[in-house]
Amino acid sequence: MDLTPEQRNQKAYQAHTQLTELLKRNLVPYAPALAARRPFTIGWGLVAALHRQACAVVLLHREGLGHEAAPNRRLMIEYMAQLQWLARDGEDAAESMNKAFQYTHGKLRKAVDGGGIFTYDDEVAASADAVAAAVIPPNATNEYSLTSKLLGRLGNGLLEIWTSETQLSHSGITAARTFFDDSSTEALRLYDSPHYGEAPNPDELSPFMAFMLLYFGMEAFNDLMVGSPWATDLERIGADGGLIEAAQSPESEG
Residue 168 has pLDDT above 60, yes or no: yes
CA contacts within 13 A on the Cβ side of 183:
8
As a whole number, mean pLDDT of residues 3-17 equals 94
pTM for the model: 0.89
Buried b (16+ CB within 10 A) or exposed e, 226-237: eeeebeebbeeb
> H/E element holding 134?
none
Reported as a single tens digit per residue, the pLDDT across 173-186 is 999 999 999 988 88
Q: Are the C-beta atoms of residues 238 and 215 closer than 8 Å to each other?
A: yes
Residues 206-225: tens digit of each pLDDT: 999 999 999 999 999 999 99
Q: Which of 148-157, 188-197, 199-208 has the lowest mean pLDDT?
A: 199-208
Q: Measure the CA–CA gap between 114 and 109, rounded to whole angstroms.
A: 8
- For 15-68, the pLDDT digits (tens) are 999 999 999 999 999 999 999 999 999 999 999 999 999 999 999 999 999 999
Mean pLDDT (whole number) for 120-144: 83
The predicted pLDDT at position 254 comes to: 41
The answer to whether the CB of 233 falls within 8 A of the CB of 20 is: no
